[in-house]
């Protein structure tokens, strides 16, 4: 692992800004952060006019099938940690081997989410891709029924070395479906078992009723907000009472109603990113999932929920729900899209939004070694030209990305 000093650079440390400072990296970790000059006789990068950020954390992706594009593409966009929110165990092992080979974002995972027979997401996957290979894959997913099943599910995930537990609590109402949901008794049994072992629990829900139900069970966070109606006082109170965070996945929700297409296309065709993303991903970014029923479902309900949660002091995290088959998303790039939506539509300052993609998710998930630029943390770093605290679009002025002090190969000729 290399050692180096980044000097004369603006530093956003995940919480606060040093207008001109220095960061020393040794052995893959940050060893000094200072607003003063650091004496060092090794490799020095003098970066006046640039901003150094903690590596971004995408709290919601799916590296479907262990897709080999997901982790390196995420890293190229400055996303140094991704949280996979449902994947087969053999795919997780494949991704971990890819990380060992280098130049990939680090992976946090739940492995298999807590699924039931005929529930989310099997029903929707088969609606769009009912082929033998997909059926065989779904056959490996958990089919939980009883409290005992729930406890055994958690213990099985622990043996796989997961980082958190993911629940599915989805009736399909926003898609005009009527899907079976796990019983609240089952959900509570999983949450209690996970908490007893120190694991956080997050849950999928995309309508207000399902969201209120799963919050009442004691989850730590939601992996979406909902489209079907505006937020209610009951919802905000529930988030506060149970100390639950929200990862709204705004770009994915906007793709669900098709309202996000214009902004998706703008990000896909931004001249600053063309060398970082392949044609297939770029084309997917320009399409929409179009899953929401017409009428009351609108992304404005999502925006208003985030505004209300922020005003109430509820933690709101940034995560993209980027996935191979998920139209309107692209690994890495969609994180920057989310930053834009937080600032443009939800009342976040750029610093608020960057906090929601760095220090805050690290704190909520218990990732104590990342998300901040401070001594002792991994040297997961993102260097951009300009000042994203003034203009969030500057996060796409990418000039260098390091993970554990190793420079991403894309930036060797730039830095």
For the segment 197-214, what is each residue's pLDDT rounded down to a tens digit? 999 999 999 999 999 999
- Give per-residue pLDDT as tens, 233-242: 999 999 999 9
Which token pair is 314? Answer: 């509820």
CA distance linking residue 17 with residue 48, whole number of Å: 15
Helix (H) / strand (E) element for 82: namely: strand 79-84
pLDDT of residue 379: 98
Question: What is the CATH T-level fold of the domain 1-55+371-414, as seen in this structure?
Answer: Urease, subunit C; domain 1 (2.30.40)
- Phi and psi of 401, rounded to 5°? -140, 130
Do 299 and 328 touch, CB atoms closer than 8 A?
Answer: no
Alpha helix stretches (DSSP H) within 102-218: 122-128, 132-138, 147-159, 184-196, 208-216
Do 66 and 92 touch, CB atoms closer than 8 A?
Answer: yes
Question: From residue 176, how far is each of 136, 292, 360, 405 by CA, in Å?
Answer: 26, 8, 34, 48
CA distance linking residue 164 with residue 59, whole number of Å: 11
Going by the DSSP 8-state scheme, the letter that residue 377 receives in this structure is S
Low-confidence ranges of the chain (pLDDT < 70): 1, 127-128, 295
Going by the DSSP 8-state scheme, the letter that residue 409 receives in this structure is G
pLDDT of residue 130: 76
Burial of 406 (0-12, 13-18, 19+ CB in 10 A): middle
pLDDT of residue 128: 66
Q: How many residues does the chain have?
A: 415
Question: From residue 94, how far is each of 44, 75, 369 by CA, in Å?
Answer: 36, 17, 24
Identify the CATH number of the domain defined by range 56-370.
Answer: 3.20.20.140
Per-domain boundaries in the chain: 1-55+371-414, 56-370
Which token pair is 386? Answer: 């300009």
CA distance linking residue 365 with residue 202, whole number of Å: 10
Do 64 and 324 touch, CB atoms closer than 8 A?
Answer: yes
Do 166 and 203 touch, CB atoms closer than 8 A?
Answer: yes
């Amino acid at each position: 692992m290399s050692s180096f000093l980044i000097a004369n650079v603006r530093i956003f440390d995940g919480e606060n800004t040093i207008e001109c400072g220095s960061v020393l990296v040794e052995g893959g970790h940050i060893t000094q952060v200072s607003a003063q000059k650091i004496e060092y006789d090794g490799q020095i990068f003098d970066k006046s006019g640039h901003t150094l950020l903690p590596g971004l954390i995408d709290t919601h992706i799916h590296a479907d099938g262990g897709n080999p594009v997901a982790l390196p593409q995420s890293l190229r966009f400055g996303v140094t940690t991704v949280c996979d929110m449902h994947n087969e165990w053999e795919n997780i092992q494949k991704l971990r081997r890819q990380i060992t080979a280098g130049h990939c974002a680090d992976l946090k995972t739940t492995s298999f989410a807590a699924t039931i027979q005929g529930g989310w997401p099997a029903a929707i996957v088969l609606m769009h891709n009912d082929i033998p290979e997909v059926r065989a894959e779904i056959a490996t997913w958990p089919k939980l029924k009883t409290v005992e099943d729930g406890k055994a599910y958690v213990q099985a995930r622990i043996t796989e070395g997961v980082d958190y537990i993911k629940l599915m609590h989805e009736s399909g109402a926003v898609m005009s479906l009527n899907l079976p949901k796990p019983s609240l008794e089952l959900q509570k049994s999983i949450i209690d078992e996970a908490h007893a072992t120190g694991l956080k629990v997050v849950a999928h829900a995309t309508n207000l009723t399902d969201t209120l139900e799963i919050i009442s069970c004691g989850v730590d966070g939601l992996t979406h907000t909902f489209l079907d109606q505006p937020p209610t006082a009951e919802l905000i109170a529930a988030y506060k009472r149970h100390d639950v965070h929200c990862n709204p996945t705004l770009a994915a929700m906007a793709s669900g109603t098709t309202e996000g297409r214009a902004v998706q296309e703008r990000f896909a065709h931004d001249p600053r990113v063309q060398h970082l993303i392949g044609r297939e991903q770029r084309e997917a970014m320009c399409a929409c999932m179009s899953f929401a029923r017409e009428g009351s479902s609108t992304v404005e309900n999502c925006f208003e929920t985030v505004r209300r949660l922020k005003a109430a002091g509820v933690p709101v995290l940034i995560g993209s729900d980027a996935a191979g088959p998920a139209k309107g998303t692209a690994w890495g790039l969609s994180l920057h899209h989310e930053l834009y939506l937080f600032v443009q539509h939800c009342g976040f300052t750029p610093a608020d939004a960057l906090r929601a993609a760095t220090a805050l998710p690290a704190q909520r998930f218990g990732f104590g070694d990342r998300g901040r630029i401070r001594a002792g943390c991994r040297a997961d770093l993102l260097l951009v030209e300009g000042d994203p605290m003034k203009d969030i679009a500057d996060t796409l002025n990418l000039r260098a990305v390091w993970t554990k002090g190793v420079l991403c190969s894309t930036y060797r000729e730039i830095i």
